Amino acid sequence: MLRIRPPGGYTKQDTQKRKEWLAERTGFKLNDTHPDEPENLKGIIENHIGYMPIPMAVAGPLRIQGTYAQGEYYIPLCTLEGTLSMSMTRGFYLTHQSNGIRTQHIKQELSRSPIFIFQDFDKRGVFSKWVTANHAELKRIAESTTGHGKLLRIDQYPNHNSIILDFVYYTAEAAGQNMTTFATHEACRFIREQFASSHGGQFKYFIESNFNADKNPTHRTLVHGRGHHVIASALVSGKLLRRILRTNAAEMVEGWSQVSPAFQMAGVLGNNMHVANALTALYLATGQDAACVAENSIGIVSYELRNKEDLLVLLSMPSITVGTVGGGTRLKQQRANLEMLGCTGKDSSKKLAEIICASALALELSLAGAIGTDEFAQSHADYGR
């Protein structure tokens, strides 16, 4: 019988065994790839001088039932932190034996938020009404720059003699940072030309006010979301908690209630132990913009007692800024990893976002168990150094 979890060990032979195990489990042979040619790096990096190899691991299987992600997945992770891939695998095994992780994809929105500043105080109100009246034309202008993005709305935020226009887009399979920039810039050029010619007055604009909090953790993102918004949950049996994590549901719930006030005392946005770890490892492996971890790691975790001894684990992630086209997703190894995950084609960015949220939940669950049983330090002593 083929084993569920990856074979262990640190030798070259052990690495080969894991590759063979992965091929047997998935039918996907993940070959070693040669570095991408420098000519293919335009749009990804400037002043290129070489490559820095990052070790890549596999965790799994992740069993998931989601809006777009369905079935079993084997998760590629690029990390330099010992215990991370092992801990995620433990979370996967625990949830796999408890019927997996459920995910719901809530929405996908990304914005660019230019600010317009007027010398004449009264012109700001006139401008606001003009933008509303010309929404259809602004939508046409913005969408003319992309074959995939759609302008959903333009939210307005006035302040003194200035106003922020938050151009909110659906970005399809792209993460969307460049898409929203190009589209919004074209709309701003149209505004500058048309409004000035019809209403006069002096004003200036900046393409980005940072109101949308691109690559910044903020309360606004926590409440309204940015990128993909995904919620994950898993109902873990008490029997498996005792056997795999060596704890029980009541202790997990009590422990989380005791540590949660510390999040508030420290001013942490959200409440999770290390969602950023899962994000960074998966982002590097799948060609995402790793700097987005800053805004994407504001997830909210909760634990609830169910059926007297079972544990309901929930993770809400309002901001997962990922795509399956463009940027680093076209690098050879990153592309192969996306193919292994089945994250290509229509709705693949939503599928990837669900896989990422589920992976983060599994990692959170495993760490919470290790802290609750006081195995955290010893596990890092054994595997993390």
| pLDDT tens track for 29-40 | 887 788 899 999
Same domain, 63 and 158: no
Same domain, 119 and 21: no
From the candidates 72, 81, 143, 304, give the one annotated as an active-site residue.
81
Does the pLDDT value for residue 175 go beyond 70?
A: yes
Domain end among 206, 221, 255: 206
Q: What does DSSP say about strands 101-112 and 227-236: parallel, antiparallel, or unpaired?
A: antiparallel
222 in any annotated domain: no
Q: What percent of the chain has pLDDT over 70?
A: 99
pLDDT mean over 139-147 = 96
From the candidates 120, 208, 289, 309, give the one annotated as an active-site residue.
289
40 in any annotated domain: no
Same domain, 137 and 177: yes
Domain end among 154, 171, 206: 206
Q: So what's the pLDDT on residue 2?
A: 61
Say which DSSP state 292 is in.
Answer: G
Same domain, 164 and 70: no
Q: So what's the pLDDT on residue 32?
A: 79
78 in any annotated domain: yes
Distance CA 280, CA 113 (A): 26
- Find the CATH number of the domain harbouring 311: 3.90.770.10
Q: So what's the pLDDT on residue 350?
A: 98
Three-state SS for 205?
strand
Our answer to whether residue 224 is catalytic in this structure is no
Q: So what's the pLDDT on residue 234?
A: 98
What are phi and psi for residue 287, nearest 5 degrees? 80, 30
pLDDT tens string 328-359: 999 999 999 999 999 999 999 999 999 999 99
36 in any annotated domain: no
pLDDT mean over 170-176 = 97
Does the pLDDT value for residue 1 go beyond 60?
A: no
Same domain, 187 and 283: no
95 in any annotated domain: yes
pLDDT tens string 50-67: 999 999 999 999 999 999
Domain enclosing residue 275, as ranges: 12-28+52-107+229-383
Q: So what's the pLDDT on residue 376?
A: 81
Domain end among 206, 241, 275: 206
Report how far Cα 36 is from the mean position of its chain's Cα atoms: 25
Structure confidence at residue 115 as a pLDDT band (50, 70, 90): very high
Same domain, 145 and 286: no
- Find the CATH number of the domain harbouring 128: 3.30.70.420
pLDDT mean over 307-331 = 97
Q: So what's the pLDDT on residue 381?
A: 75
Same domain, 259 and 377: yes
pLDDT tens string 14-30: 999 999 999 998 888 88
Same domain, 138 and 89: no
From the candidates 148, 185, 274, 380, give the one annotated as an active-site residue.
380
Q: So what's the pLDDT on residue 306?
A: 96
Same domain, 248 and 347: yes
Same domain, 265 and 182: no
Q: What percent of the chain has pLDDT over 90?
A: 85
Same domain, 16 and 158: no
pLDDT mean over 92-114 = 97
Residue at 359: amino acid letter: S
Number of domains in the chain: 2
Our answer to whether residue 32 is catalytic in this structure is no
Our answer to whether residue 105 is catalytic in this structure is no
pLDDT tens string 210-219: 999 999 999 9
91 in any annotated domain: yes
Same domain, 63 and 155: no
Average pLDDT of the chain to the nearest whole number: 94
122 in any annotated domain: yes
Distance CA 36, CA 169 (A): 32
Q: In 97-176, which residue ranges form alpha helices assigned H by DSSP?
A: 123-133, 135-143
Does the pLDDT value for residue 8 go beyond 70?
A: yes
Does the pLDDT value for residue 384 go beyond 90?
A: no
Q: In the chain, which residue ranges form alpha helices assigned H by DSSP?
A: 12-26, 84-96, 123-133, 135-143, 177-199, 219-224, 238-240, 249-266, 275-286, 293-296, 332-340, 348-372, 376-383
241 in any annotated domain: yes
